[in-house]
Structure 1
Amino acid sequence: MLLLTQVIIILLAFTSQQHEATASSIVLPINKHTDAAANVLFSTHAYFDNSQYPDPRHDTPAYFNSQYHQQSLLIDLDAPFIWHYSYPHQDGCDACPYAVTCREVPCTDLRTTFSYQDPSCPPPTNHSMYEGYFDCELCPVNIISPVTGSCSQALPTYDQFMFTTSNNGKNVLFDDLYTAYPTAASTPPWTFDPFPSNVLGVIALSTSPYALPAYLHDPVNRTVGLCLPSTTSNPGVLFLGNGPYYLNPKSDVDVRSLLSYTVLLKQPDSFGYFIGVNAIVIKNRSIVIPANATSTKINTLNHYTKLRTDVYNNVVRRFSSVTKRIPRANKLAAPFGLCFNTTVNGTNVGLKVPDIDLMLQDGKKWTVSTRNSIKQVTEDVACLAVVDGGPTSEHAIVVGTYQFEDNFLLFDLEKSRLGFSSSLLRRGTSCSNLDFTVTQ
Structure 2
Amino acid sequence: MAGLGRTKISLPTQLASAFSFDRKFAFCFSSSNGVVIFGDGPYGFAANVGSAPNVVYDSKSLTYTPLLINPVSTASAFSQGEPSAEYFIGVKAIKIDEKVVSVNTSLLSIDSNGVGGTKISTVDPYTVLEASIYKVVTEAFVKASIARNITRVDSTPPFEFCYSFDNLPGTPLGAAVPTIELVLQNENVVWEMFGANSMVNINDEVLCLGIVNGGENPRSSIVIGGYQLENHLVQFDLAASRLGFSSSLFARKTDCFRFNFTSTA
Same fold (TM > 0.5): yes
| Structure 2 residue 233 is the aligned partner of structure 1 residue 408 | yes
Residue 242 (1) aligns with residue 65 (2): no
Contact 2:179–2:195 at 8 Å: present in 1 too?
Answer: yes
What RMSD, in angstroms, separates the aligned Cα atoms of the two structures? 1.8
Q: Give matches, 1:101-250, under 5 Å.
A: 203-215=2-14, 216-217=16-17, 218-230=19-31, 232=32, 235-249=33-47, 250=53
Aligned partner of 2:164 in structure 1 is 341
Residue type of the alignment partner of 1:434: F
Q: Give 2:256's aligned amino acid.
A: C
Shift of 1:288: 4.1
Partner letter of residue 216 of structure 2?
P
Q: Could you tell me whether the CA contact under 8 Å between 1:247 and 1:255 is conserved in 2?
A: no
Task: Give yes or no for the alignment of 1:259 onto 2:81.
Answer: no
Residue matched to 1:131: none
Residue 312, structure 1, aligned to residue 137, structure 2: no
Q: Displacement, 1:252?
A: 6.0
Give the 3 Å change call, closer, same or farther, for CA 387–422 of structure 1 in structure 2: same
**Does structure 2 retain, via aligned residues, the 8 Å contact 1:279–1:360?**
yes
Correspondence for 2:87 among 252, 273, 284: 273
2:203, 2:178 → 1: CA distance?
A: 21
| 1:422 partner amino acid | S
Q: What is the alpha-carbon distance in structure 2 between the residues aligned to residue 314 and residue 392 of structure 1?
A: 16
Alignment TM-score, normalising by the size of structure 1: 0.50
Q: Which structure has greater strand proportion?
A: 1
Query: Quick one: distance in 2 between partners of 1:386 and 1:306?
Result: 6
TM-score with structure 2 length normalisation?
0.81
**Mapped contact 1:277–1:289 kept (Cα < 8 A):** no
User: What is the rounded CA distance, in whole Å, between the counterparts of 2:27 and 2:199 in structure 1?
Assistant: 21
Of 158, 180, 198 in structure 2, the residue corresponding to residue 356 of structure 1 is: 180
Measure, in 1, the Cα distance between the counterparts of 2:20 and 2:55. 23
What CA distance in whole angstroms lies between the structure 2 residues aligned with 1:255 and 1:246?
9
| C-alpha separation in 2, matches of 1:402 and 1:265 | 22
- In the alignment, which residue of structure 2 is the partner of 1:282? 96
1:417 CA displacement: 0.2
> Offset of 1:354 from its aligned partner?
2.2
C-alpha displacement at 1:292, in angstroms?
A: 2.6
- Residue-pair matches, total: 229
* Deviation by residue 1:171-230 (Cα, 9 ceiling, x = unmatched): xxxxxxxxxxxxxxxxxxxxxxxxxxxxxxxx1100011211221224422111010113
More helix by share: 2
Q: Distance in 1 between matches of 2:45 and 2:209?
A: 29
How far has the Cα of 1:365 moved from its partner? 0.7
Change (3 A) 1:289 1:205: farther
Structure 2 unpaired stretches of 5+ = 48-52, 74-83, 109-116
Is 1:278–1:288's contact at 8 Å kept on the other side of the alignment? no
> Which structure exhibits the higher relative contact order, with contacts defined as CA atoms closer than 8 Å and separated by 6 or more residues?
2
Equivalent residue for 1:327? Answer: 151
